[in-house]
């Protein structure tokens, strides 16, 4: 069986990625919130625009679950997908690269150049099942090292949606002196039980695939592609809306045939396509590790609760929600605005596509972000 390229391998074309390896604070590696340890972490990142002499115009853009450092650009060598925020970042756009120096790194635990389960340890073995439990705070700790490497003492803004929004929140709370402002999209202050439930079922689908091999499948000639495709299909239901599905697919058959015999419903075909597309470009172990990190998201953990944690935020914060988002409904963004004294009134995006609106409604979102950066 030929395994699709689901993760970036050392020696692959780097595309527009830069790489840097960190030995951790004081050269002692990274001790993780869950008690695990990594001797070192390699980070893949991309940049756009020019850093000014004062190093005061840097903007950190944070990707979501299956994103990577390629926020802007086209497909090409080393880049399997176009930029996930094309139309929002660039000259004259919402995040204007004529003015701002934009940085986007692949997250710790990811599959596209930053240390994750598919990476090789110092002995040349894939981490696989040995990759430790990580949290959003661990991911941000690695991003702090990247900021230090780039000589950026303070981000002009940290901007992210969904899992990226989790990291934006953690930056403002954990490193307030290093964040001049933030934009938080389509997320809450802590994962809800329903979000955890959706995510847990996706993880179970991957682990139930016989090709998963307990997470150690890299050298078996196989991979849990079927489990990952099912997980993505389950996730896709939460990313979009029932109204959109009804308008696009209804009860129509994919091939206008007989669904009682040799045809399937169009919605089934759509979910299958989305799952197979992801399986060709993403690593199943990374999907598991990052999903579980999102489940652990709670800005109030160890800080006296959500209200006490958010009360410490003093820098300007812009919070954006999608009116049709059923994964992270508006009540979660309203809670953040109510508890962060420096937050502006909630900005609500009108969209028919649900949670994915934070990726797709670039014109509406771009105007809000541009205004936030100018202020």
Domains of the chain (ranges; CATH) run: 18-192+298-374 (3.40.50.1820), 196-292 (1.10.1740.110)
What is d(CA 126, CA 135) in angstroms, rounded to the nearest whole number?
20
Kindly list the distances between the CA atom of residue 320 and the CA atoms of 56, 173, 332, 345, in Å, as whole numbers in the listed order.
Answer: 24, 18, 11, 9
Per-residue pLDDT of the chain (375 residues), as tens digits, is 344 557 888 888 999 999 999 998 888 899 999 999 999 999 999 999 999 999 999 999 999 999 999 999 999 888 889 999 999 999 999 999 999 999 999 999 999 999 999 999 989 999 999 999 999 999 999 999 999 999 999 999 999 999 999 999 999 999 999 999 999 999 999 999 999 999 999 999 999 999 999 999 999 989 999 999 999 999 999 999 999 999 999 999 999 889 999 899 999 999 999 999 999 899 999 999 999 999 999 999 999 999 999 999 999 999 999 999 999 999 999 999 999 999 999 999 999 999 999 999 999 999 999 999 998
The answer to whether 126 is a known catalytic residue is: no
Nearest to 110 by CA among 138, 73, 89: 138
Identify each DSSP E strand in the chain by its residue range.
18-22, 30-31, 37-38, 41-48, 58-62, 89-90, 95-96, 101-105, 157-161, 182-185, 317-322, 347-349
| Degrees to nearest 5, angle at CA 149 with 146 and 154 | 75
In the chain, what is the greatest distance between 2 CA atoms, to the nearest angstrom? Answer: 68
Identify whether 269 is a catalytic site residue: no
User: What pLDDT, on a 0 to 100 scale, did the predictor assign at position 8?
Assistant: 86
325 is catalytic: yes
Residue of 63, 126, 296, 355 marked catalytic: 355
Rounded distance, CA 158 to CA 316, Å? 11
Choosing from 325, 347, 351, 356, the catalytic residue is 325
Its pTM stands at: 0.96
Single out the catalytic residue among 162, 191, 291, 347: 162
- Which residues are paired to 341 by β-bridges? none
Tokens matching residue 339: 């508890």
Q: Which two tokens stand for residue 158?
A: 């940290």
Contact 288, 149 (CB under 8 A): no
């Amino acid at each position: 069986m030929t395994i699709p390229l689901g993760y970036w391998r050392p020696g692959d074309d780097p595309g527009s990625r830069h790489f840097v390896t960190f030995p951790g604070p004081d050269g002692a590696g990274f001790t993780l919130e869950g008690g695990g340890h990594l001797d070192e972490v390699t980070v893949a990142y991309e940049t756009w625009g020019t850093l000014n002499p004062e190093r005061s115009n840097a903007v950190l853009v944070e990707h979501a679950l299956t994103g990577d450092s390629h926020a802007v650009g086209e497909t090409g060598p080393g880049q399997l997908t176009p930029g996930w925020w094309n139309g929002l970042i660039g000259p004259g756009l919402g995040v204007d690269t004529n003015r701002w120096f934009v940085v986007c790194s692949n997250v710790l635990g990811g599959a596209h150049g930053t240390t994750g389960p598919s990476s090789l340890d110092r002995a040349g073995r894939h981490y696989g099942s040995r990759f430790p439990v990580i949290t959003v705070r661990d991911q941000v700790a690695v991003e702090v090292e990247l900021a230090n490497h780039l000589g950026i003492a303070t981000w002009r803004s940290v901007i992210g949606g969904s899992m990226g929004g989790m990291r934006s929140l953690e930056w403002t709370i954990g490193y307030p002196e290093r964040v001049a402002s933030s934009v938080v999209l389509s997320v809450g202050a802590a994962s809800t039980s329903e979000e955890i439930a959706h995510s847990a079922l996706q993880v179970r689908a991957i682990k139930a695939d016989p090709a998963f091999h307990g997470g150690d499948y890299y050298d078996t000639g196989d991979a849990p592609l079927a489990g990952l495709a099912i997980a993505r299909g389950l996730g896709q239901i939460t990313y979009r809306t029932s109204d959109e599905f009804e308008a696009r697919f209804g009860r129509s058959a994919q091939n206008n045939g007989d669904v009682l015999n040799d045809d399937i419903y169009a919605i089934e075909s759509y979910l299958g396509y989305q799952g197979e597309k992801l399986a060709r470009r993403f690593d199943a172990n990374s999907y598991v590790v990052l999903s579980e990190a999102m489940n652990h998201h709670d800005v109030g953990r160890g800080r006296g609760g959500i209200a006490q944690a958010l009360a410490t935020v003093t820098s300007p914060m812009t919070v954006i929600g999608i009116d049709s988002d059923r994964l992270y409904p508006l009540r979660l963004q309203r809670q953040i605005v109510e508890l962060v004294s420096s937050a502006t009134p909630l900005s609500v995006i009108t969209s028919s596509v649900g949670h994915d609106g934070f990726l797709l409604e670039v014109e509406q979102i771009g105007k809000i972000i541009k205004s936030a950066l100018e202020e």
